[in-house]
């Protein structure tokens, strides 16, 4: 028996604006996220903030990997499912938090932002919340430049245990690329 054929949900044309609830991440958006997260890494590693990570940027915990984890290799299935779960969480956050019409490229860029920085708590300046607030207040096109200053800091702990927040050049570069995607370039 042949497997049932899935019919993709019709989505607005790339140049049209529509409610966020009508969108899913496009193939271009998915490729963008995977590339920005360093591709499909088949092992555990400590990211640039020292957090244990694997696959396409899947965070294990906000602490370093154990030596056993660093030696472990992962199968494609172990990498793919957490990526899909993370994308679905990010899509839901954008749909839930954005109340103005978006173009596909804007939706894709916001999903990338949430996948990388998290949605943040409503009414806070955490994660993607500043961008959501700006998009809803000023409109999708007018809010584009806010992407450049959203979630660009990393938490660093020195040898004495002092915590500081520092601008992370890698996140600045990513936000510039997300801005280009957001603007349809």
**Residue 4: is its pLDDT beyond 70?**
no
Tokens of 63: 């602490």
Q: What is the pLDDT of residue 1?
A: 42
Q: Classify each residue of 16-54 as buried b or exposed e, where b means 16 or more C-beta atoms within 10 Å of its C-beta.
A: ebeebebbbbbeebbebbbebbeeebeebbebebebbbb
**Residue 149: is its pLDDT beyond 90?**
no
Note the pLDDT tens digit of each residue in 22-52.
Answer: 999 999 999 999 999 988 999 999 988 888 9
Average pLDDT, the chain: 86
Q: What is the pLDDT of residue 126?
A: 78
Note the pLDDT tens digit of each residue in 85-104.
Answer: 999 999 999 999 999 999 99
The single-letter DSSP state of residue 159 is T
- Mean pLDDT over residues 12-17, rounded? 62
For the chain, domains (ranges, CATH) are 19-182 (1.10.530.40)
Q: What is the pLDDT of residue 11?
A: 46
């Amino acid at each position: 028996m042949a497997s049932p054929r899935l019919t993709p949900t019709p989505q607005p044309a790339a140049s049209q604006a529509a409610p966020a609830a009508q969108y899913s991440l496009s193939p271009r958006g998915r490729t963008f996220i995977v590339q920005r997260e360093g591709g499909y890494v088949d092992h555990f590693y400590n990211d640039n903030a020292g957090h244990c990570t694997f696959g396409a940027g899947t965070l294990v915990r906000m602490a370093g990997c154990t030596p056993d984890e660093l030696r472990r290799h992962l199968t494609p299935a172990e990498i793919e499912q957490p990526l899909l779960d993370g994308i679905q969480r990010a899509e839901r956050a954008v749909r839930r938090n954005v109340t103005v019409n978006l173009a596909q490229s804007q939706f894709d860029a916001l999903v990338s932002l949430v996948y990388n920085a998290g949605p943040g708590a409503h009414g806070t300046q955490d994660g993607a919340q500043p961008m959501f607030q700006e998009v809803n207040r000023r409109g999708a096109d007018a809010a584009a430049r806010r992407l450049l200053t959203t979630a660009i800091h990393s938490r660093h702990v020195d040898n004495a245990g002092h915590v500081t927040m520092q601008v992370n050049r890698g996140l600045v570069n990513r936000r510039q690329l997300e801005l280009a995607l957001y603007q349809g370039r």
